[in-house]
């Protein structure tokens, strides 16, 4: 759940953000361009490498959003190899960037905000990329830092402050949307291989995962994450438990991961299967990078539409994900090894502009997903 501070910031953004976006003076002095689609037909770099020393990437939001910036960060590093890349994130998603060695520094705007702003001013950024789509403050902060070039999505009338504004669509997979920002700056098309991993755990965490999974006796590992930060994305714990038993019966070694939100469900799932011969309950007991290392070892990952889904996809692990209010084109991994279980309902998806409204249907989009739906999808993935 969002903290009180985050909720207050979101409310301020809604109240004063639109007025400020319409009235502040653009501070970037680079040539202005509007890219309605990734700039695949451009014959030269929009911003040459010799003009770029320091790059700031702004990525508020959750874990999944952060993970899906990795292909974009790689594209920027390839085109601007001598640049310093700094990420401005939130405390809740900052730790994922420890798995991205090309990021030189990570700052959190919700931790010592004034100190962070002064530190950002010290860098003197040539390029700022605002990956946020639905809030105003990120672009306003970027504009305040006076970069030569400011790139972002054209939502909420923010494009008047951009030198490079890119059209945004909820029907485009999020990693591809982020890549469009890199393409607008570099002028080069970036190939996104939907089957190639783009996230890897550090060596220490890989070694920890190998040791931890040595008790599996070489059986295939199914990683299950039963939690979700939103109640609208939770699947009943009893159904996760039945699915876990089904996995064990088929000879898989089940590892349960997740944060504090996953602990109650994990206890229910492990009941009757406490022996480590069948299941290892690590919910609430691993770091994010340890979870990533476990996912890399997994034959399959089962989870809801959460950040773990995007970590698993980025690590190259096949997934079965449970979708309710979320938008499949925007968030479901675009590869046949990744199956999203979704019930076609008139009210789903209901999440719009990053906001999920109160549900008057008892979260039927998740409740209608049966154990049979999920085990059938798992069988299809395992057969590939």
> How is domain 203-382 classified at the CATH fold level?
Rossmann fold (3.40.50)
pLDDT at 9 over 80: no
Task: Please indicate whether the domains covering 4-186 and 203-382 agree at the CATH topology level.
Answer: yes
Judge whether residue 43 has pLDDT over 80. Answer: no
CB 276 within 8 A of CB 293: no
Cβ burial of 263 (10 Å; 0-12, 13-18, 19+) is middle
Q: What is the pLDDT of residue 357?
A: 62
- 53 vs 81: CA distance, rounded Å: 9
What pLDDT is stored for residue 42 in this prediction? 37
Residue 249 has pLDDT above 80, yes or no: yes
pLDDT of residue 220: 97
Give me the residue spans of the domains in the chain.
Answer: 4-186, 203-382
Q: Within 10 Å of residue 382's Cβ, how many Cβ atoms?
A: 16
Q: Is 247's pLDDT higher than 70?
A: yes
For 253-282, the pLDDT digits (tens) are 999 999 888 888 888 776 766 556 889 999
| pLDDT digit string, tens, across residues 174-215 | 999 999 999 999 998 999 999 999 999 999 999 999 999 998
Mean pLDDT estimate for the chain = 89
In the predicted model, is pLDDT for residue 86 greater than 90? Answer: yes
pLDDT at 269: 75
- Report residue 307: phi and psi, to 5°: -60, -30
Task: Over range 283-295, report the average pLDDT.
Answer: 96
- Under CATH, which number does the domain 4-186 receive? 3.40.50.2000
């Amino acid at each position: 759940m969002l903290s009180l501070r985050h909720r207050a910031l979101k409310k301020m953004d809604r109240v004063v953000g639109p007025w400020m976006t319409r009235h502040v003076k653009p501070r970037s002095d680079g040539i202005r361009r509007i890219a309605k689609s990734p700039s695949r037909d451009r014959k030269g770099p929009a911003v040459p490498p010799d003009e770029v020393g320091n790059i700031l990437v702004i990525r508020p939001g959750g874990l999944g959003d952060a993970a899906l910036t990795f292909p974009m960060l790689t594209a920027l590093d390839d085109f601007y190899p001598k640049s310093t890349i700094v990420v401005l994130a939130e405390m809740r998603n900052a730790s994922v960037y420890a798995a991205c060695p090309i990021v030189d520094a990570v700052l959190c705007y919700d931790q010592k905000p004034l100190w962070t702003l002064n530190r950002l001013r010290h860098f003197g950024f040539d390029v700022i990329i605002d990956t946020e789509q639905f809030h105003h403050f990120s672009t306003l902060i970027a504009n305040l830092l006076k970069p030569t070039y400011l790139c972002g999505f054209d939502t909420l009338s923010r494009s008047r402050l951009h030198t490079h504004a890119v059209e945004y669509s909820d029907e485009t997979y999020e990693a591809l949307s982020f890549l469009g920002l890199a393409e607008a700056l570099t002028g080069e098309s970036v190939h996104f291989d939907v089957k190639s991993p783009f996230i890897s755990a550090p060596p220490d965490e890989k070694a920890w995962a190998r040791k931890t999974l040595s008790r599996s006796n070489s059986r295939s590992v199914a990683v299950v994450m039963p939690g979700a930060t939103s109640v609208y994305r939770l699947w009943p714990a009893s159904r996760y438990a039945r699915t876990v038993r089904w996995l064990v019966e088929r000879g898989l070694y089940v590892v349960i991961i997740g944060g504090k939100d996953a602990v109650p469900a994990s206890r229910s799932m492990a009941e009757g299967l406490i022996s480590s011969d069948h299941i290892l309950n690590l919910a609430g007991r691993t770091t994010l990078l340890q979870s990533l290392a476990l996912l890399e070892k997994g034959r399959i990952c089962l989870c809801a539409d959460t950040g773990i889904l995007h970590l698993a996809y980025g690590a190259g692990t096949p997934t079965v994900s449970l979708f309710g209010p979320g938008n499949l084109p925007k968030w479901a991994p675009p590869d046949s090894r990744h199956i999203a279980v979704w019930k076609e309902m008139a009210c789903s998806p209901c999440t719009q502009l990053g906001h999920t409204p109160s549900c008057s249907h008892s979260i039927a989009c998740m409740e209608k997903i049966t154990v049979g739906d999920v085990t059938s999808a798992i069988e299809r993935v395992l057969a590939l």
